[in-house]
Structure 1
């Protein structure tokens, strides 16, 4: 089954080093506003089943995309059971590698044998590894963070945590790992050692100071800044319908604040 992939000019496709490597990215972001025009930068027809894409990177002339293959959707409980508001569902976590012609080069299945943990989130790179969190498909659950060596495809477990962790940011200069919970309402941070692994299993947790977009994919920019994209669904209309609003936010996870936000 063929899928089309639209790459927006500021869609969350990292260059594999940092957004700072792109000319004038900081000033371009600062110039965005409600009246900004968004123009597709290109279109790739993918010659494979993409399932439900989550995060994406571009490294050289190769693309990497995380995706969840949903085999059984979670169902909401009438009353919480065991602290959970829904059933776990079933599925598989994929990391696809494909070229600029849409040809699938590699399909790495993550979290095999982990039971209810099968939903990947946004992805990140430090230039050597791609980092992919895989969680249960429900809030307040469990996650495993993996890193995959770009050259070989070798998979290594980085950490486990008792929460649903989605977006991930690696700050190589600051030696920090940042991750966000379901809906990005909680931010978690770890110090990294020389091997790029968390020094302790304990994370520093901060509440997201804003109630706007739920981050889907985040990438390190420069210094302490990261760029996160996502969607907010606003309810409360008498019709019962919700409205989806997309956006970008520049975040300083170390300071626990959103530096700037842009509709998108």
Structure 2
């Protein structure tokens, strides 16, 4: 495997931060080497300097997209960490529906529910949310459900939109009952059923850029992504999230994350071993 020099690592750290917001501190050289080495081999580059020069010459920015796909963390699985989805099912959605019903908020005769998965990777999180809503008996006839999944990776967004997963991906986090209820066999793969797929939309989005045209959400999942940003970028991210959240909405973050040092815009609450903010 081609080794990256300290000078090259500094160059790529700066470049990756600029295009993705992902901050790579010293000690993460192995991550750059592991993720980008296949691209170097494919392009016949002898060094990371050579690779960087090819990136700069690529007017169409195809290589930039591939670097983002390679470097962004796509570790995910259905019902990851379990507790946030239990929280959604037993606390957040019932409370939200009760509040919206009392306020008489309806859209074309249906109660609106807007949920955003801000780093949805290949779609497992947003589809887990959709399955949770189905299990609660929420349907598109009674509720105006809009689920949005965004990610910085083109490849991740493409797979999420298609909703097709291999045996390993399908087995991670899904019970046999859920697999049979919400998926169809597709050769050696499993594909999400149309009734679930119809609840969600996906788009590419860099969280470091302005949140143009997003609108407001009742619930935002932003789990295990801000930890890769600089402290300054984290504060900026949470400020933008706060402006995209309804005044009585909910933000769910990762179990190892905290907002106490980042922003005072949210009120932290604990329920079922999960952290939510409103």
Q: Which protein shows a greater Rg?
A: 2
TM-score, normalising length from structure 2? Answer: 0.27
User: Highest relative contact order (Cα 8 Å, sep 6+), 1 or 2?
Assistant: 2
TM-score, normalising length from structure 1? Answer: 0.28
More helix by share: 2
